[in-house]
Amino acid sequence: MADLTPDADGGTDDTREGPTLDAVTLAKDFPLLSREVHGRTITYLDSAASSQRPSVVLDAMREYDETTHANVHRGVYAIAEEATRRFEAARTNVGRFIGAPSPSREVVFTKNATEALNLVAHSWGRSNLERGDVVVLTEMEHHANIVPWHMLAAERGIELRWLPIDDDGQLVLDDLDTVLDGASLLAVTCMSNVLGTLNPVAELATRAHAAGALVVADACQAVPHLPTDVAALGVDLLAFSAHKMLGPTGIGVLWGREELLESMPPFLGGGEMILDVRKDGFTPNDIPWRFEAGTPPITEAVGLGAAVDYLRAVGMDAVRAHEISLTAYALDTLTDRFGPDIRIYGPPAAEDRGGVLSFAFRDVHPHDISQILDEYGVCVRAGHHCAKPLMRRLGVNATARASFALYNDERDVDTLVDALDAAGKFFG
Amino acid sequence: MPGLEDLYREIILDHYRSPRNRGELESPPAVRVEGFNPLCGDEIVVTIDVEDGVLADIKIAGTGCSISQSSASLMSAAVKGKSLAEVRELIGTFKQMMSIHESTLPSDGADGGGGEAAEPEVIDIDALGELAALQGVVKFPVRIKCATLSWNTLTQGLDESGVSA
């Protein structure tokens, strides 16, 4: 599987001469990447939206379904116990992967990261925030980390403050302490899904805590692409989705500090989340099940566990090193080929960003770019990327976005460049 | 397998590069309506002057892809100076063109499955004139919303003008 070979061009700050990976070999683990679209082998550059799954993930889910499936935490028969054990093993596995101090108690399975963030707004927000309380967001947040707070603002009258970005797509922190003054919560993305910007989350968490605010991090784009350690980040809550990290759709994760989760009331009500139900009320379950009403996504948890195993075997340092190298190649190649005809948003240096390249190409609308690229089998996203406040800050309605994962290599970038060239000629 | 030439007809590219009736009419008296395509972030502004049952003038502003912009441009040229009854009929015919083909496509159609499926293939393509160039869009279901954005916005404008045909 993971062919770990020394790479000559290392030299990045966090992976100095560390291992890298052979994307061409890894890509063979992903069945979808061998299919053809419009007569050409697919070039999948939309992993920031959803990643593809390796056979080991698909096989694990199928094997579970064929041999073990039963509802969890209920039956006393053999396969029900096995199902429960595998479901809880996936939880612990995910927790260890992100450095959770108490992995079996701090990982809550949700439908996706959006639900995880809504859980925070609904459970923690409603029991802690009152009129006039302050939640701080950044201009680069995904709608999933904006709208739940808007909804709480409409319901509770809380105040939303915004950390701005500069023209390179970096957070402007000059007034950070002023913005954080009196705040109850900082909600920040680890890595922008549009700009690729890697935010200084550990520093932000330190300063937020100094101001008395908790920190919830949107780690959707971080967990699949770089080593993530919740203890090192120092955040209080962290959300991510399985389907962006080689796992299935239908399951996401909310990690929270044990004592914090224990202090939070339930989210949805139903089975599984209770210890007792009487005619006059109910007693909520212990964490993490308190937040998991109803039958959870069991097969998907097994798949997520397998995805974590795969990523761990490849090595997140190697993934990060590979994506820095590939992003640098893409930045150089696109700029060399198209010069002023292309504008790439976000930090100019590959080391400062993840493998997400949003761009404007001449005057061609992103929808049209994406349509032409599709003819070449190249899959990119066109639109506002669920980040309309950021789009307004950039002064555009939409961008085209190419995003990488560990299975992409320089040939994918070359195909993108050729297809863009064709799009330019078509609309010339 | 539909080709790009089905989508990007020469007429469409012409209207995209040289859009007709660009701008905004003074509002009031003109009725001004904004339309949004939540999928791609495109925004369109349609302003119309209705006088004596006639769509006396129309302007289109906003930004969008080649399909939404050319559709808006073609629409503006087609409806300007027409009676409201004729405009409503044209809107109906155009949207029928966008939905009939869609319903015959595999089940991944995008536009909310709209259109009462009862009247297959009876649209009068000739009545659409240059607008017929947009019929290739239905082979690309994701783009149907681009093509219908300006038409839905115009419909809203007609409704808000308080005159029904």
| Residues A148-170: tens digit of each pLDDT | 999 999 999 999 999 999 999 99
- Kindly determine whether residue A372 and residue B4, on different chains, have CB atoms separated by under 8 Å: yes
Domain B4-160, architecture per CATH: Alpha-Beta Complex (3.90)
Interface contact B66, partner A, CB < 8 A: yes
For residue A3, what pLDDT is reported? 43
Alpha-carbon gap: B110 to the closest alpha carbon of chain A (Å) = 15
Mean pLDDT of A53-79: 95
* Contact between residue B103 and residue B143 where contact means Cβ atoms under 8 Å apart: no
Is residue A82 scored above 90 in pLDDT?
yes
Distance of CA A65 to the CA centre of its chain: 27
Residue of chain A whose Cα is closest to the Cα of B12: A427
Residue of higher predicted confidence among B6 and A219: A219
Name the residue of chain B whose CA is nearest to A369's CA. Answer: B65
Q: What percent of chain A has pLDDT over 90?
A: 91
With H, G, I as helix, E, B as strand and everything else as coil, classify residue B1.
Answer: coil
Segments of chain A assigned to CATH 3.90.1150.10: 5-54+315-426
CATH 3.40.50.720 is the classification of domain A58-312: no
The predicted model gives A53-81 an average pLDDT of: 95
- Between CA A407 and CA A417, with CA A412 as vertex, the angle to 5 degrees is 155
What value does the mean pLDDT take over residues B85-111?
69
Spell out a b/e string for A295-311, using b for 16 or more CB atoms within 10 Å of the CB, else e: ebbbbbbbbbbbbbbbb
Cβ-defined contact of B40 to A382 (cutoff 8 Å): yes
| Domain range summary for chain B, segments of one domain joined by + | 4-160
Which amino acid is residue A32, in one-letter code?
L
Q: Which residues of A touch B10 (CB under 8 A)?
A: none
Contact across the interface for B8 and A383, Cβ inside 8 Å: no
Residue contact B40–A368, C-beta within 8 A: no
Question: What is the tally of helices (H) and strands (E) in chain B?
Answer: 6, 3
Chain A contact set for B110 (CB, 8 A): none
Fold (CATH) for A5-54+315-426 = Aspartate Aminotransferase, domain 1 (3.90.1150)
- In the annotation, is A190 catalytic? no
- Structure tokens that stand for B28 in this block: 């009031």
What pLDDT, on a 0 to 100 scale, did the predictor assign at position B121? 54
In degrees and rounded to multiples of 5, residue B7 shows phi and psi of -85, -50
What tokens does A143 get? 């709608």
ipTM: 0.74
* C-alpha span between A296 and A18 (Å, rounded): 38
Residue B164 reports pLDDT greater than 80: no
